[in-house]
Amino acid sequence: MKHIILFLMISVSSLLIISCSELESNLEPPPVINTHSQDILNTASADFHGNLIRQSNWDMSMCKQCHGISYDGGLAKSSCFSCHNNPAGPENCSTCHGSELSPAPPRDLNGNTSTTDRGVGAHQVHLAGNSNGKTLSCAECHTVPASLNTAGHLDSDNKAEVMMSNYLANLNTNGASTTEYDPTVSLFVPNPIYNSSDQSCSNTYCHGYFKNGNLNNKMIWTSQTSTACGSCHGDVTKPTPNERALPKNITEGGTHPNLLACYVCHEDVVDENLKIINFSKHIDGRLNLFGNDIEY
């Protein structure tokens, strides 16, 4: 009897050992968790996390796998908000372009800051205030996405679409109603155009498409040498500042009086030295005359 019990014990032990051995050999190896290199926070390194996100076409879903769906720590127990502390954290507009002061460049998607770079250009001249006119919103030229993943925001070409579908760019102060060139009023109907080939902006109210203005004026996005008086109204080739600022008068086919002292009629906007004294009343869609704003 003892021999039988001993035999059974040995048999069961052998089966357990064999079964456990087979079970162990069939187990999937544990997943390998890759951690970031030590240069993940080094902006000068190719391993900087901003570069990695750029290479993935700005897809931040991979970040959420470890840092949590809200970037507040997750499995890694490391919150992205320790650095990205603006609203929406890493998905804030200024994370990819612009700065904490403005979501618009300088600092485009490639890190450029020069106004001669296409992604930078004249953004801040339009948005941050200047000596020529009122500030504009991003929506004047672009369709502003509600969030990072709004349809049409992230796409394969990484270029911002210049729609110019807002109020000022399309303002028509000449009364044209056709879609063709009208020789009776010497103008084209509003059709604001951004030409990506030569980076020019034309047919916009903001740059001369108004009564007695330079209707065919083209502004170059990456060149800010053409913003003086005369590029939108007047004639940049004239010898004096006042002559350069004078809108098209009767002798030139316009209707503006041949008066060089701008401040006499537009005292709320400009002083006797042609300095703009109220930016909000210049390039605002209205004609300020003798202290009154007149709708075109």
Query: Number of folded domains in the chain?
Result: 3
272 and 213 co-located in one domain:
no
Mark which of 76, 91, 106 sits at the end of a domain: 91
* Residue 131 domain flag: no
Whether 117 is in a domain gets the answer no
Domain that holds residue 192: 169-255
Q: Which of 65, 91, 117 is the last residue of a domain?
A: 91
Q: What CA–CA distances, in Å, run from 89 to 95, 111, 166?
A: 8, 19, 29
pLDDT at 229: 83
| Average pLDDT value for residue range 148-164 | 83
The three-class DSSP label of residue 50 is helix
Average pLDDT for 216-244: 81
Please indicate, yes or no, whether residues 196 and 230 belong to a single structural domain of this protein: yes
For the segment 165-183, the average pLDDT, to the nearest whole number, is: 61
From residue 250, alpha-carbon distances to 157, 165, 212, 246, 254 in Å are 48, 32, 9, 11, 5
Going by pLDDT thresholds of 50, 70 and 90, the confidence category of residue 125 is confident
Picking from 87-91, 113-117, 151-155, 185-189, which range would have the lowest pLDDT averaged per residue? Answer: 185-189
Same structural domain, 240 and 271: no
6 pLDDT tier (thresholds 50, 70, 90): very low
Q: What is the gyration radius of the CA atoms in the chain, in angstroms?
A: 32
Task: Please state the length of the chain.
Answer: 296
If pLDDT is split at 50, 70 and 90, which confidence band does 180 have?
A: very low
The more confident residue out of 171 and 32 is 171
End-to-end Cα separation, the chain, in angstroms: 115
pLDDT above 80 for 190: no
Q: What is the pTM of this model?
A: 0.72
14 domain-assigned: no
On whether both 193 and 223 belong to a single domain, the answer is yes
102, part of any domain: no
- What's residue 12's pLDDT? 45
- Residue 152's pLDDT is 83
CA angle, residues 206, 164, 104, in degrees to nearest 5: 90
The mean pLDDT value for 242-255 works out to: 89
Is residue 218 included in any domain, yes or no?
A: yes
pLDDT at 26 over 70: no
Rounded to whole angstroms, how far apart are CA atoms 165 and 176? 18
Mean pLDDT of 98-121: 91
Give the phi and the psi of residue 64 in degrees, each rounded to 5.
-70, -25
- Rounded to an integer, the average pLDDT of 123-144 is 80
Q: CA 284 → CA 102, 114, 206, distances in Å?
A: 22, 28, 8
CA nearest to 263, candidates 254, 255, 272: 272
d(CA 49, CA 45): 9
Verify that 243 and 273 share a domain, yes or no.
no
Single residue among 58, 91, 124 that ends a domain in this structure? 91
Amino acid sitting at position 34? N
Give me the chain's average pLDDT, please. Answer: 79
pLDDT above 90: percentage of residues in the chain: 21
248 plus 284 within the same structural domain: no
| Position 216 in a domain | yes
Would residue 249 count as lying in a domain?
Answer: yes
CA-nearest of 245, 246, 286 to 268 is 286
Q: What is the amino acid identity at position 162?
A: V
Q: 48 in a domain, yes or no?
A: yes
Do the beta carbons of residue 223 and residue 213 sit within 8 Å? no
pLDDT at 264: 94
Instruction: Note whether 186 and 251 are same-domain residues.
Output: yes
